[in-house]
């Protein structure tokens, strides 16, 4: 027994290194079980006190002013609602007449951003709801302006969002007016760009780009961006189109996770 | 004392990611606090402790993005060992030499992370974000080294 402890203490550095490598290999190999568990542990042990602090600070900030604004908005929205309800009834009657299935009536879950993952600019976010609240991987995440991203990893009480600004994220879209299909991606040097748009596509500055629903991840009809610049194509087959995102990714506060379609 | 410092650093990382990261970001140029903490640990806490601290910091800093967790752990451990070995062999004492080590560590971390996250056009990212970020991160790095040298000197004098 003595000889083994002598060997261990003599080669302590080596054993320490091997053990560290073993831990990393374990995390690499069992990505579906260990990573969310470690994330949960880290969240509970290190992040939760600051999340509570942040929530309390935000709740206290401008409460009175916000209350006034909300009362004013409530009045205005009440008036708008009655007009919209009438339009919805009329729309529903017309849809029934032509047998068209409505899109865009989604069930959403409001979530708070705990922290933003920045690599040069925000490319991810952590939210305060997880699998216990019905959140699943690949659910669409929106705010009041449009599509913000999708759920990437889910833990029991928190989840991570892959924002549209992440270069690894691409969205199948269509031009709202012309139904022309394309793909949207974000890169640090070009910003948000529309790919696969044919050179003869009839698009113009200001056109709204919405999700097409073809990728199978995002529901159709969510606002993604507006066309900002169309570069003249020089004998190319596809157009080069620069977009202005619907969501300001530098100022996202509240998000909503689309957890299903309303029946 | 070193264990308490490590625990404090882990909470500092969580606090930075939760509250400070938005406040300190200037036109997309951010402080790479994780790398500063790894370098400080490697320079002042010894090899064994800094390796385990690097692993824990990898977990805490990538809680927002679980897919990069093993990469962050690997990068942090690699840099912690590298910084520790270089400083031990070359006997780095002055703050300037430590800042040079930190600069190399910051550049390495950012380039590796940028490649892992599959950002296109690395040259643009290097000029627009990474190098300004390195310069920006050297300011808190310098403050950390000032404190580190102060406490190291204090312990030396006491013993």
Q: Does A64 score more than 80 pLDDT?
A: no
Q: Do the Cβ atoms of A172 and A211 come closer than 8 Å?
A: yes
Q: Band of the pLDDT at A48, cuts 50, 70, 90?
A: confident
Q: Do the Cβ atoms of B144 and B32 come closer than 8 Å?
A: no
Q: Which residues of A6-43 are buried (b: 16+ CB within 10 A; e: fewer)?
A: eeeeeeeeeeebeebeebbeebeeeeeebbbebbbebb
The answer to whether B117 faces chain A, any CB pair under 8 Å, is yes
Q: Band of the pLDDT at A103, cuts 50, 70, 90?
A: low
User: What does the DSSP assignment read for A23-62?
Assistant: HHHHHHHTTTTHHHHHHHHHIIIIIHHHHHHHHHHHHHTT
Q: Do the Cβ atoms of B76 and A59 come closer than 8 Å?
A: no
Spell out which residues of chain B touch residue A124, defining contact as CB-CB under 8 Å. Answer: 64-65
Spell out which residues of chain B touch residue A38, defining contact as CB-CB under 8 Å. Answer: 59, 66, 69
pLDDT recorded at residue B40: 93
Q: Does A206 score more than 80 pLDDT?
A: yes
Q: Is B70–A153 a contact, with Cβ atoms under 8 angstroms apart?
A: no
pLDDT recorded at residue B87: 86
Q: Which of A119, A192, A195, A250 to mutate to test the interface with B (most CBs of B within 10 A)?
A: A119
Q: For A77-96, write each residue's pLDDT tens digit.
A: 877 887 787 788 788 778 77
The pLDDT averaged over each successive group of 10 residues in chain B (159 residues) is 88 90 86 93 89 92 86 92 88 85 93 83 84 93 88 69
The answer to whether B75 faces chain A, any CB pair under 8 Å, is no
% chain A with pLDDT above 70? 92
Most confident segment among A50-59, A105-114, B80-89: B80-89
Q: What distance in Å separates residue B73's CA from the closest CA in chain A?
A: 7
Triad A180, A182, A184: Cα angle to 5°: 135
Pick the more confident residue, A15 or A62: A15
Q: How far apart are the first and last CA of chain B?
A: 15
Q: For chain A, list the domains and their CATH numbers.
A: 170-245 (2.40.10.350)
Pick from B57, B22, B72: nearest CA to A116: B22
DSSP secondary structure code for residue A131 in this structure: G
ipTM at complex level:
0.82
Tell me which chain B residue has its CA closest to the CA of residue A117: B64
Q: Band of the pLDDT at A100, cuts 50, 70, 90?
A: low
Q: Is B18–A114 a contact, with Cβ atoms under 8 angstroms apart?
A: yes
Q: For A123-167, write each residue's pLDDT tens digit.
A: 888 888 888 888 998 899 988 888 899 998 888 888 999 998 888
Q: What distance in Å separates residue B87's CA from the closest CA in chain A?
A: 17
User: What does the DSSP assignment read for B46-103?
Assistant: -HHHHHHHHHHHHHHHTTT-GGGHHHHHHHHHHHHHHHHHHHHHHT--SHHHHHHHHH
Pick the more confident residue, B144 or A107: B144
- What token pair was written down for A155? 């833990």
User: Which of B17, B117, B128 is the closest to A168 by Cβ?
Assistant: B117
Q: Give the whole-angstrom CA distance, residue A213 versus residue A31.
A: 29
Pick from A102, A111, A88: nearest CA to A220: A102
């Amino acid at each position: 027994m003595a000889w083994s402890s002598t060997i261990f203490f003599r080669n302590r550095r080596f054993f320490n290194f091997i053990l560290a490598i073993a831990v990393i290999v374990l995390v690499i190999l069992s990505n579906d079980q260990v990573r969310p568990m470690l994330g949960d542990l880290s969240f509970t042990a290190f992040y939760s006190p600051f999340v509570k602090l942040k929530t309390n600070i935000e709740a206290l900030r401008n409460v009175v002013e916000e209350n006034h604004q909300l009362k004013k908005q409530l009045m205005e929205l009440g008036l708008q609602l009655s007009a919209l309800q009438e339009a919805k009834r009329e729309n529903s009657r017309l849809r029934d007449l032509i047998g068209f299935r409505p899109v865009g009536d989604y069930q959403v879950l409001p979530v708070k951003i705990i922290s933003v993952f920045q690599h040069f600019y925000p490319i991810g976010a952590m939210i305060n709801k997880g699998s216990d609240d019905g959140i699943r991987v690949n659910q669409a995440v929106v705010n009041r302006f449009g599509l913000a991203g999708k759920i990437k990893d889910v833990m029991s009480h928190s989840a991570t969002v892959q924002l549209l600004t992440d270069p690894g994220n691409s969205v199948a879209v269509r031009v709202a007016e012309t139904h022309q299909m394309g793909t949207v991606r974000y890169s640090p040097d070009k910003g948000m760009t529309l790919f696969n748009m044919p050179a003869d596509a009839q698009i113009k500055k200001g056109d709204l780009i919405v999700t097409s629903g073809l990728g199978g991840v995002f529901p159709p009809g969510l606002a993604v961006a507006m066309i900002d610049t169309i570069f003249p194509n020089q004998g190319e087959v596809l157009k080069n189109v620069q977009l202005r995102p619907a969501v300001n990714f530098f100022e996202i506060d509240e998000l909503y996770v689309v957890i299903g379609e309303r029946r | 004392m070193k264990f308490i410092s490590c625990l404090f650093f882990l909470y500092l990382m969580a606090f930075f990611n939760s509250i400070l990261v938005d406040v300190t970001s200037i036109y997309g140029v951010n402080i790479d606090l994780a790398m500063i903490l790894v370098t400080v640990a490697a320079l002042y806490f010894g090899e064994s402790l800094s390796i385990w601290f690097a692993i824990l910091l990898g977990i805490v800093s990538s809680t927002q993005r679980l897919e990069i967790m093993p990469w962050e752990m690997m990068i942090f451990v690699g840099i912690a060992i590298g910084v520790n070995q270089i400083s031990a062999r070359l006997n780095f004492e002055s703050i300037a030499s430590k800042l040079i080590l930190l600069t190399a560590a910051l550049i390495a971390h950012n380039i590796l992370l940028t490649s892992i996250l599959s950002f296109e056009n690395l040259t643009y990212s290097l000029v627009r974000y990474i190098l300004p970020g390195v310069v920006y991160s050297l300011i808190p790095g310098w403050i950390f080294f000032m404190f580190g040298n102060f406490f190291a000197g204090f312990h030396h004098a006491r013993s």
